[in-house]
Structure 1
Amino acid sequence: MNHEVSSLGERGVVLTPDGTTVAVGHLIAGIEAGLKRKVEHWSDVAGDRPVTVDNLYALTLAKDLGVAFVAHHLNRSQGLLGPDGCWDNVTSPQVFTGTGSWSLATNALINGGMDGFILGDLLTELRAPLPKLSSVLRDYYGEVQGQLGLKANSRRENFEAKVDLGNFTNEIVSAVYLYDHNRTDSILQHLDYNIFREISEQGVKQFRYNYLVCPPIIPRCMWGAKPYKGTPVTLALPLRYVYIHHTYEPSRPCTNFQDCAADMRSMQRFHQDDRQWDDIGYNFVTGSDGYLYEGRGWLWLGAHTKGQNSKGYGVSFIGNYTSELPDQAAMELVKENFMRCAVIGKKIVSDYAVQGHRQHGETTCPGEMLFNEIKTWEAFKEVGQVNRTTEE
């Protein structure tokens, strides 16, 4: 229940069935806060500024985000947000270790805080008799749609729909002032109110980009990727193109983490062993489980669209889309979240072009139905159309 991050790993977290890692304490705190939800007003915490604290915000994310923002401001060697991480064993997980510069607000903490806020907010509205906690968690984290109507793989959309983002900075500032009040080791004693507020505003901006704009991505280590063979070639960013593919084989969409992870391993084996490539060819792969899966990722040159690999990202949908379309949510994940995330993060240019694999080779990929769909996307361009537009 106690979340802790150190050089030894991250404790107080669990691997959920959807393939993400969640801080248990923040999840349970949100559920309890929802059942006892209240808004408190304090007048003696931040000097002459009254403080209003919603306990559901404070106990799930607001306090911890604010403390993490301050810690980063005071010590820049500490990350602002994140990182994600890897388990020592996905089937029997015991130790979870971050994969980058760690923050006090790791991905696991934020996932748990989002889930706690979503479920706490839901329980605020429910009338007796309330469901058992085990039923709530089974409904939320299980694959089958339950009575709640909410699933963990849609936590980002559900959190954005429930949270008052316009007031989020206020909740963070208020929660930290209340937390800091009467502490002997005050973290705010050397920070002016306006500076702290500015720090919080910048932190919220980054939080929104990382966790609400960008799609959730399952890292390589979580789907069991083998190492890259040889030395990866770094892409020269920003790129101009996104090339859409379908896997064809596996031919069926995957709808849960275990199946999608198995499909990723299968494709990597085929690309590395049969085709003798250095790695799985795609930069990213989209399942029908609510997640993108990291292939070669944002930085490494892929092997997906012959003659074009240095110009754009290869993004594939798991399944055969010759006569049917991918899940609508999966298409939105690529069309909206992935593209917007890549533009804001300066991974692709703002006037990027979307093209199908078949436009650059003798192939039917990404399937007739999917190709006809992407032709309706605003960013779709015929071959040569991008260059003519640029020259004009």
Structure 2
Amino acid sequence: MKFGFIMEFICCLLVLISVINVQCCDFDLVSREDWHADPPTDVEKMSNPVPFVIIHHSFMPPACYSAEDCEKSMKKMQEMHQITNGWNDVGYSFAVGGDGRAYEGRGWFNVGAHAPTYNNKSIGICIIGDWRTELPPPQQLSTVLKLINFGVRKGYIAKDYTLHGHRQVRNGTECPGNALLEEISTWEHFSPEAEMYFPPPPK
């Protein structure tokens, strides 16, 4: 009797786990631990849900198409942002590789370093590669949309969020590239109107 109850409980638990996976994990999200991220030097918390999503391209490192190469790209970006730029961590909330996986950067709850004046009210998503003249592969774009939709479902991103490309909110950058900007301009929630950031004059 007791054995039967235990088996029934295990079966119900497995069904519940499978339902949860279907509802919340329709894409692969690679944790910081799994891509071997170095720890941040500091963390600033952010209030959710955020009203903006900002799309970037990495330019360098170039596009990656395997898990191994995309994990290396994440390490390169973190090294550049932390060591070269002197930032607390990799600047983006998430990055998406050509392998179709999303990689956790600063995540849903921490202020990023990807778009001045928007850092504390946006999720910054970097699409790894140089997308000035060509588009990322379909699986890469699909994962970006799934990641955003997941954030909305979980209440991390506002349901009426506004989508911008990086150059719309930061002066003097090509990011996310002409081809990619044209693509995301067709996505739901994209707005051509944005508050442009102008750096203060040098002292």
Aligned in 2, Cα 1:184/1:352: closer, same or farther, shift over 3 Å? same
Unaligned runs of 5+ residues in structure 1 are: 1-181, 386-392
In 2, distance between residues paired with 1:359 and 1:345?
27
In 2, distance between residues paired with 1:184 and 1:223?
41
Indicate the RMSD between aligned Cα atoms, in angstroms: 2.3
Match of 1:187 in 2: 6
User: What amino acid is aligned across from residue 344 of structure 1 in structure 2?
Assistant: R
Could you say which structure has the greater relative contact order, defined with CA pairs below 8 angstroms and 6 or more residues apart?
Answer: 2
Deviation string, structure 1 residues 165-209 (Cα, Å, up to 9, x no partner): xxxxxxxxxxxxxxxxx66362278x9xxxx98x88876653322
Deviation string, structure 1 residues 103-162 (Cα, Å, up to 9, x no partner): xxxxxxxxxxxxxxxxxxxxxxxxxxxxxxxxxxxxxxxxxxxxxxxxxxxxxxxxxxxx
Aligned with 1:221 (options 29, 33, 39): 33
* Fraction of identical pairs, as percent: 33
User: What amino acid is aligned across from residue 189 of structure 2 in structure 1?
Assistant: A
Offset of residue 211 of structure 1: 2.4
TM-score using structure 2 length: 0.87
In 1, distance between residues paired with 2:38 and 2:53?
25
Match of 2:144 in 1: 334
Aligned in 2, Cα 1:188/1:256: closer, same or farther, shift over 3 Å? closer
Match of 1:264 in 2: 74
Aligned with 2:44 (options 233, 250, 263): 233
Matched, 1:308 2:118: yes
Aligned in 2, Cα 1:329/1:275: closer, same or farther, shift over 3 Å? same
Aligned in 2, Cα 1:384/1:267: closer, same or farther, shift over 3 Å? closer
Match of 2:155 in 1: 346
1:14-53 alignment runs, 5 A limit: none
Offset of residue 347 of structure 1: 0.6
1:123-272 alignment runs, 5 A limit: 184=3, 186-187=5-6, 205-212=19-26, 215-230=27-42, 232-251=43-62, 253-272=63-82
Which ranges of 4 or more aligned residues in structure 1 deviate by more than 6 Å? 199-202
Larger radius of gyration: 1
In 1, distance between residues paired with 2:75 and 2:187?
30
Q: Is the 8 A contact 2:50 2:121 kept in 1?
A: yes
In 2, distance between residues paired with 1:216 and 1:341?
12
Match of 2:166 in 1: 357
Match of 1:370 in 2: 180
In 2, distance between residues paired with 1:370 and 1:202?
39
User: What amino acid is aligned across from residue 82 of structure 2 in structure 1?
Assistant: Q
State the secondary structure of the residue aligned to 1:233.
Answer: coil
Unaligned runs of 5+ residues in structure 2 are: 196-203
